[in-house]
Amino acid sequence: MQAQAKINDFSGAVIVAQKGKIIYEQAFGMADREWQTLNTVDSKFEIGSLTKQFTAACILQLASDGKLRLDDKLNKYFPGFPNGSSVTVQMLLNHTSGLHDYTALPAFARLQSAAVEKDTVLALLATQGFDFPPGTQWRYTNSGYFLLAYIVEKVTGKSFRDYMYDNVLHKIGLRDTDINRRDSVLPLRTKGYVKTSHGWVNAEYVSIEGLFGAGSMYSTIGDLYRWENALFGGRVLSPSSLAQMVTAHSGGYGYGLYIDSLQTHQRFWHSGNVPGFTSYDARYPQEDVSIAVVSNNSSNSASNGNALAAILFGIPVVLPYVHKEVAIDSVVMKRYVGTYLRSGASTNADTISFKKGKLYMHIVDFGGDFELKPESNTKFYLAVFPDFLQVEFSVDKNGAPVDAHFIQGNVRNHLTRR
């Protein structure tokens, strides 16, 4: 983390805990650059889409209490919503509704600097149609979690914030977590920043009201750790509801959480991103490990969280450093052309190609071809995100590749050439 702060300007806070004991907790960088105040472990950060797991927990509580059903149709709560009879609450939870993501709409971009009314967003959603027939595919969309928070209000007669406070936050003692309000005076609130070619600037203003159940909360690393302990310790949901939450559906997504593995280590996790802020929290159930990373200058919190877990699990980690391009012979570059499969994967291989004197990698996760710049005859970095991703080859005495590694977010993963 010291290297991340020095090389990549990481600003934020991190916490690592194992078997109920905090083993690392530290803050870095500035909470407010204008006043030159430092981040602390008690600083409050906007957590973006980490909000979704709180929203999902509220819905599952109401389902457990018999106040709604996961197979309820959308038109039960929003009469007249187009195709509302084909969308269920469960589809909203696991991103299979087909609803277009309202936060990606130009119309929302024009509204996002104002305190957007819920019915304005609802009317906007109703005009957008569907990306695919409900229930047939998976695509991440904030629209589902906006509607879920609205359903909480319709079922309970309370504001989403009041229901969550009474039944989650206050219940488990989260004193530094809540729905954000830009007009409130909030002690230890951090400001969000973005680095440009001209230096640091204040992050774009986005209406927290418009993010609602999809991304409107703030928290601290300590509260995120307490939240994980309470959620997975049975203090928020019944065992059956928690099991539903962490059952992977399409896209490896449960309800408000991704379910996958860091190499061989199962994890439940999510990340968040609002202008100027990123966040990440993960629970490794088999090792009883919790990790949370929050940033107020758009640092890659997820990559840092993965690297911290890798250190705990003895997975090789490469410290960040400044990458510098060198010139190498095109004959050398052409040797690396081929199809590569990451460790643990059986499909969706990445492909390296040579075009117009440059190497490109088609990265399935990113959905496109990205230039690889050489920093030696055997090591290359992603031109657009140098420290985020590198590819390193081992070669024989003739220079032919015999082994390869994919270094993503500083964590080394083996590549098998097909």
- For 63, other C-beta atoms within 10 Å of its C-beta total 22
State how far Cα 45 lies from the chain centre: 14
The terminus-to-terminus CA distance of the chain in angstroms comes to: 35
Q: Hey, what domains does the chain have and what are their CATH numbers?
A: 2-313 (3.40.710.10), 330-417 (2.40.128)
Q: What is the pLDDT along the chain (418 residues), one digit of tens a residue?
A: 999 999 999 999 999 999 999 999 999 999 999 999 999 999 999 999 999 999 999 999 999 999 999 999 999 999 999 999 999 999 999 999 999 999 998 888 887 777 788 898 899 999 988 999 999 999 999 999 999 999 999 999 999 999 999 999 999 999 999 999 878 899 999 999 999 988 999 999 888 778 999 999 999 999 999 999 999 999 999 999 999 999 999 999 999 999 999 989 999 999 999 999 999 999 999 999 999 999 999 999 999 999 999 999 999 999 999 999 999 999 999 999 999 887 755 556 889 999 999 999 998 777 789 999 999 999 999 998 888 889 999 999 988 898 899 898 889 888 888 8
Read off the amino acid at residue 25: E
106: left (phi over 0), alpha (psi -120 to 50) or beta: alpha
| Signed CA dihedral, 33, 37, 41, 44: sign only | negative
Read off the amino acid at residue 98: G
Distances in whole angstroms, Cα of residue 125 to Cα of each of 102, 104, 105, 159, 393: 6, 11, 10, 21, 48
Q: Which tokens hold the place of 264?
A: 């061989």
Q: Which tokens hold the place of 199?
A: 């230096």
Cα–Cα distance between 192 and 292 in angstroms, integer? 18
Backbone phi, then psi, for 251, in 5-degree steps? 75, 10
What contacts 196, CB < 8 A, 6 or more positions away?
Answer: none
What contacts 216, CB < 8 A, 6 or more positions away?
Answer: 51, 179, 180, 208, 209
- Residue 176 has a pLDDT of 98
Q: What angle do CA 219, 223, 225 make, to 5 degrees?
A: 125
